[in-house]
Amino acid sequence: EPEVTQTPSHQVTQMGQEVILRCVPISNHLYFYWYRQILGQKVEFLVSFYNNEISEKSEIFDDQFSVERPDGSNFTLKIRSTKLEDSAMYFCASRDMYSNQPQHFGDGTRLSIL
Amino acid sequence: TQLLEQSPQFLSIQEGENLTVYCNSSSVFSSLQWYRQEPGEGPVLLVTVVTGGEVKKLKRLTFQFGDARKDSSLHITAAQPGDTGLYLCAGTRQGGSEKLVFGKGTKLTVNP
């Protein structure tokens, strides 16, 4: 069964450094998302992306964050000047073009900021 | 205030017992999903419900969407240790955006 894949599975970075989290959505999906889950807390929406542009972003998704679809398969989340509080699991999700279709999640990248 | 309230937060039962977990909101949802999440992994989709009153069955799991599309339940019959995990409900709000709003989850432990 097609699945969303994310790399790396674990990223350790010094505070202030930039990180890029990578995702390969399911191939025929057109809507892409990033969510994060701080340890012990619920999954939170960050951003949605469709037709090569951001369609919605949360208040968490400030100027520190950016997303890009650099080619036909990858979808990336860049975090500039990382802070300790950016430590979390980051999940990529994608869904089909039809309304009410569910979002399918990758296994996430565990980001640890030291 | 949680948009999606899940209860109970923790549930520990013996193998063979039945259980129901709940997902409640004061908001109307256009669709609601149930996911299961294992430690260190992403949420895995179990079911999507979109119609008020809808009931879906997945082997020993029965999912129900409330008539008003504000609540949902997951019932597991004859629970097995393999059912142990974190069950999450998540939905897209009626008239709102397509982002998923998640509940905090129910952590289920089925003891052999």
Q: Does any CB of chain B come closer than 8 Å to the CB of residue A36?
A: no
B82 phi and psi, to 5 degrees? -70, -10
How far apart CA A29 and CA B100 sit, in angstroms, is 17
Q: How far is B56 from chain A (nearest CA, A)?
A: 15
pLDDT at residue number A64: 96
- Map out the domains of chain A with their CATH numbers: 5-113 (2.60.40.10)
Chain segment A35-90, per-residue pLDDT in tens: 999 998 999 999 999 989 999 999 999 999 999 998 878 999 999 999 999 999 99
What pLDDT does residue B2 have? 61
Please write the tens of the pLDDT for every residue from A6-44. 999 999 999 999 999 999 999 889 999 999 999 989 999
CB atoms within 10 A of CB B73: 17
Residues of chain B with pLDDT under 50: none
Q: Is B30 in CB contact (< 8 Å) with chain A? A: yes
CA–CA min distance A70, chain B (Å): 23
Size of interface A-B (CB pairs under 8 A): 58
Scan for tokens 């340890």, then name that residue. A39
- Asked if residue A95 has pLDDT above 80, the reply is yes
Which domains does chain B possess?
A: 5-105 (2.60.40.10)
Q: Do B50 and A100 touch (CB under 8 A)?
A: yes
SS3 assignment for chain A: CCCCEEECCEEEECCCCCEEEEEECCCCCCEEEEEEECCCCCCEEEEEEECCEEEEECCCCCCCEEEECCCCCCEEEEECCCCHHHCEEEEEEEECCCCCCCCEECCCEEEEEC
Give B88-112 pLDDT, tens digit per residue: 999 998 877 789 999 999 999 999 9
Chain A interface, best mutation among B98, B102, B104, B107, by max A CB count within 10 A: B98
Report pLDDT for A72.
78
